[in-house]
């Protein structure tokens, strides 16, 4: 698996908020954003799996 570069243009206020959140966790802004993206993706996939399992078993 290779790597790629992602470039974002965000306003100063949002960047400052990201810096604050990252600093609270002792992380760089880049690491914080990546961890957040990974976490959100996992949560969505996990919830979809739970929903499909409940449909399969007639729970919902």
In a domain, 27, yes or no: yes
Could you tell me if 19 and 29 are in contact, meaning their C-beta atoms sit under 8 angstroms apart? Answer: yes
23-53 tens-digit pLDDT: 999 999 999 988 887 877 788 888 999 999 9
Structurally, the chain folds into a number of domains equal to: 1
Tell me the C-alpha to C-alpha distance, in Å, between residue 2 and each of 5, 6, 53.
10, 13, 33
Does 34 map to a domain? Answer: yes
Q: Is residue 39 part of a domain?
A: yes
Q: What is the pTM of this model?
A: 0.59
- pLDDT score, position 45: 85
Residue 5 lies in a domain: no
């Amino acid at each position: 698996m290779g790597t790629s570069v992602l470039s974002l243009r965000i306003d100063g206020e949002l960047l400052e908020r990201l810096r604050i959140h990252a600093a609270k966790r002792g992380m760089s802004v880049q690491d914080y954003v990546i961890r957040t993206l990974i976490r959100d993706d996992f949560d969505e996939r996990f919830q979809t799996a739970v929903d499909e399992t409940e449909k399969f078993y007639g729970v919902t």
